[in-house]
């Protein structure tokens, strides 16, 4: 990456908002990933739009990163610009039954604020380790709830750099998909409609879901959450278990013994080991069960 290109970003960002060769293992829940050529921490829409505009003008690849909770980054890292929207872009506002938040707001932080405001309907998302932007983009869901149940609209940046306001129907939220994902848009903020409830009951429901997650999911190991999409009519974890793959290993990557739908990093796993394990699971499950699994985890970089 040229010095001239780097200097152009210096006119948009403060020094502490720009990092060179930042290890992406520090920014993914897998704790895996090589360095990014350039790593940016924008604090407002102008900086986000400006960064994307510069990348397009210079024909440099870029990627919008949240909490890195559904991502496997190559050991070689990312040859381009990472634009991180997390703590640096995470304002939450609550007015009546309406919650509006910037895309970098973590779902756990939102759940706490929402519960304190005695609003119900967001409990399902309380333990999902991601940001609002990623959750809307992927229509994240858990324990019978999905973002499409509560999202009313979103403000996005389209591929041409235009800020657009999309109503719920325009978002086309489906199972782990949306128009945002399909058309490579960037979520800037989103609004939710929730119902008034009892604060203590809401917090009790969140605590119960947390207990279930801790009991059933391998939260003690770095992972990207559920590794595979749910095939229609099946459960990915059961297909993997029935294929005798519980505990299956490639290096330090492993199919969780606790929940076969999770691939975990046992400590020091490489992206290649995780990727190889995922491909092995897909192949073996298809051979034994006749069902082809599809990864839910996104890949970034060269594999």
**Which residues does the annotation mark as catalytic?**
176, 226, 296
198 Rama sector, left if φ>0, alpha if ψ -120 to 50, beta otherwise: beta
Contact 129, 225 (CB under 8 A): yes
CA atoms of 206 and 5, how far apart (whole Å) = 46
Contact 202, 236 (CB under 8 A): no
Q: 3-class DSSP state for residue 132?
A: helix
Q: Running DSSP on this structure, what letter comes out for residue 143?
A: T
State the pairing for strand pair 35-40/78-84: parallel
Residue 76 parent element (H or E) = none
CA atoms of 104 and 142, how far apart (whole Å) = 20
Contact 34, 76 (CB under 8 A): yes
State the pairing for strand pair 92-95/71-73: unpaired
């Amino acid at each position: 990456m040229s010095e001239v290109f780097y200097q152009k970003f210096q006119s948009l960002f403060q020094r502490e908002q720009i990092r060179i060769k930042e290890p992406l293992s520090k920014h993914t829940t897998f704790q895996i990933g090589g360095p990014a050529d350039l790593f940016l921490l924008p604090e407002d829409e102008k900086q986000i739009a400006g960064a994307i505009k510069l990348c397009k003008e210079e024909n440099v690849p870029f990627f919008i990163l949240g909490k890195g909770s559904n991502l496997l980054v190559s050991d070689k890292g990312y040859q381009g610009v990472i634009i991180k929207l997390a703590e640096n872009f995470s304002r939450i506002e609550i007015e009546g039954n309406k919650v509006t938040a910037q895309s970098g707001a973590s779902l756990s932080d939102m759940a706490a604020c929402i519960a304190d405001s005695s609003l119900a309907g967001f409990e399902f998302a309380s333990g999902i380790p991601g940001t609002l932007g990623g959750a809307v983009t992927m229509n994240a869901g858990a324990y019978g709830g999905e973002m499409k149940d509560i999202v009313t609209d979103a403000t996005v940046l389209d591929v041409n750099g235009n800020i657009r306001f999309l109503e719920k129907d325009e978002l086309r939220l489906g199972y782990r998909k949306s128009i945002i994902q399909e058309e490579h848009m960037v979520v800037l903020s989103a609004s939710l409609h929730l119902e008034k409830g009892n604060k203590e009951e809401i917090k009790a429901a969140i605590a119960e879901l947390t207990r279930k997650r801790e009991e059933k999911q391998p939260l003690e190991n770095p992972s990207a959450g559920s590794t595979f999409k749910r095939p229609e009519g099946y459960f990915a974890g059961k297909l993997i278990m029935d294929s005798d793959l519980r505990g299956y290993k490639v290096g330090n990557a492993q199919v969780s013994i606790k929940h076969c739908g999770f691939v975990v990093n046992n400590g020091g796993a490489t992206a290649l080991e995780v990727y190889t394990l995922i491909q092995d699971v897909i192949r073996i499950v298809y051979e034994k069960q006749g069902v082809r699994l599809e990864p839910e985890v996104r890949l970034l970089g060269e594999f």
